[in-house]
Amino acid sequence: MQINGNTILITGGTSGIGLAFAEEFMKHGNTVIITGRRQDRLDAIQARIPGIVVKNSDIADAAQREELVNWVYSNYPSTNVLINNAGVQLAMDLSQPVDPARVYAEINTNLVGPIHLGSLFAPHLAGLQNPVIINVTSGLAWIPAAFMPVYCATKAAMHSFTLSQRWQLRNTNIQVIEIAPPSVDTELGHDRREDKTQSHGGIPIAEFIKEAMAALINGELEAPIGDAKNLRAKGETIFEAFNSRF
């Protein structure tokens, strides 16, 4: 992937991996647009990072996805990189009746949103130079953490979808890349923590970004980062040992 001179749209860009990617890509001379649902966060980021572009948008909502794409076409037609990063991570007890609203929240944000958004952007991207779609999945796509089964299932589905998307777009100039993080020290999963200011745990965000950017520069189409490499390599053989830690 060419890492400079792009116009990049990052969903879920107000914290964690999305914001870290935004800051890193801006250092390399890119125009960066981030989306998020909380206007106060968008305003604070725009005040702190001169030049960053912000757009209030809920990726889980189909109408807002379509409005976002139309807004990008109208205001930033040179947008040639889409990073599907927005995600929701919820714990779920499958021994009890589940709340369908929580199930749909994860599926719509983590799976339906990126599928729809990628399809909306594909015709536009195909007419540009160096177009890229980056899907942020997870090491949990290969080894699920059983206490958050829907999140892991959506990431497994996104891994499978990315393979299909890359194959279907193989005769276009659109590059399709999968970045699979390990556990990264962000606020992801705050829903299940009593202290909402507590972070996720895992590797420092700077360490993740350094390795992820190196993978992009090296042209890797599937890039498990850090411990996610081990999960990718060993697959279901370590499922029981992995989950015994929780």
Give the pLDDT confidence of 82-133 residue by residue, as tens digits. Answer: 999 999 999 999 999 999 999 999 999 999 999 999 999 999 999 999 999 9
Average pLDDT over residues 8-15: 96
Give burial (CB, 10 Å; 0-12/13-18/19+) of 196: exposed
Task: Using CA atoms of 191, 192, 196, 202 in order, give the dihedral in degrees to the nearest 10.
Answer: -110
Which pLDDT does position 187 carry in this prediction? 66
Residue 202 has pLDDT above 50, yes or no: yes
Residue 67 has pLDDT above 60, yes or no: yes
Average pLDDT over residues 184-198: 57
Average pLDDT over residues 28-50: 96
| Every domain of the chain and the residues it spans | 7-243
Q: Who contacts 66 (Cβ-Cβ below 8 Å, separation ≥6)?
A: 120
Cβ neighbours around 63 below 10 Å, total: 8
Mean pLDDT estimate for the chain: 92
Cα separation of 75 and 57, whole Å? 15
Residue 77 has pLDDT above 90, yes or no: yes
Which pLDDT does position 190 carry in this prediction? 47
Which pLDDT does position 199 carry in this prediction? 53
Which pLDDT does position 198 carry in this prediction? 46
How would residue 245 be classed by pLDDT, with cut points 50, 70 and 90? confident
Q: What are phi and psi of 59, to 5 degrees?
A: -65, -20
What are 65's two structure tokens?
A: 């996805």
How would residue 186 be classed by pLDDT, with cut points 50, 70 and 90? confident
The answer to whether residue 151 is catalytic is yes
Residue 191 has pLDDT above 60, yes or no: no
Lowest mean pLDDT among 122-131, 149-158, 191-200: 191-200
Residue 158 has pLDDT above 60, yes or no: yes
Average pLDDT over residues 50-73: 97
Residue 189 has pLDDT above 50, yes or no: no
Alpha helices in 92-180 (DSSP H): 100-107, 113-125, 149-168
Q: In what order do the strands lie in the sheet with 31-36?
A: 53-56, 31-36, 7-10, 81-84, 132-136, 175-180, 222-224
Cβ neighbours around 139 below 10 Å, total: 23
Cα separation of 106 and 110, whole Å? 6
Superfamily of domain 7-243: NAD(P)-binding Rossmann-like Domain (3.40.50.720)
> DSSP 3-state assignment of 193?
coil
Which pLDDT does position 194 carry in this prediction? 55
pLDDT digits (tens, 9 = 90+) for 208-227: 999 999 999 999 999 999 98
